């Protein structure tokens, strides 16, 4: 199981990349991802495999003013 934004999720298969998870959850561009409290570069989404017990935070930019 993986924690995504504080919610426990289960995904098909043993190994899923950040890119695959984002596609499965229908996230679009314009987000940032932290894996176990460390930001992951977008260029690394395809090769970064999420493991059981990992914590993923998906963040959208917020405008202030």
Confidence of residue 65 (pLDDT cuts 50, 70, 90): low
Residue 55 has pLDDT above 90, yes or no: yes
The domains located in the chain, with CATH, are 2-59 (3.10.20.30)
Please report the DSSP string for 4-57 in residue order.
ETTEEE--SSS-EEHHHHHHHTT--SS-EEEETTEEE-GGGTTT-EE-TT-EEE
Confidence of residue 23 (pLDDT cuts 50, 70, 90): very high
Mean pLDDT of 22-46: 94
Between CA 48 and CA 36 the distance in angstroms is 12
Whole-prediction pTM: 0.85
């Amino acid at each position: 199981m993986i924690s995504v934004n504080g919610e426990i999720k289960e995904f098909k298969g043993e190994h899923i990349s950040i890119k695959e998870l984002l596609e499965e959850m229908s996230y679009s561009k314009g987000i940032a991802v932290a894996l176990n409290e460390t930001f992951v570069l977008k260029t690394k989404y395809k090769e970064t495999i999420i493991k059981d017990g990992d914590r993923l935070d998906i963040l959208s930019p917020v405008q202030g003013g």
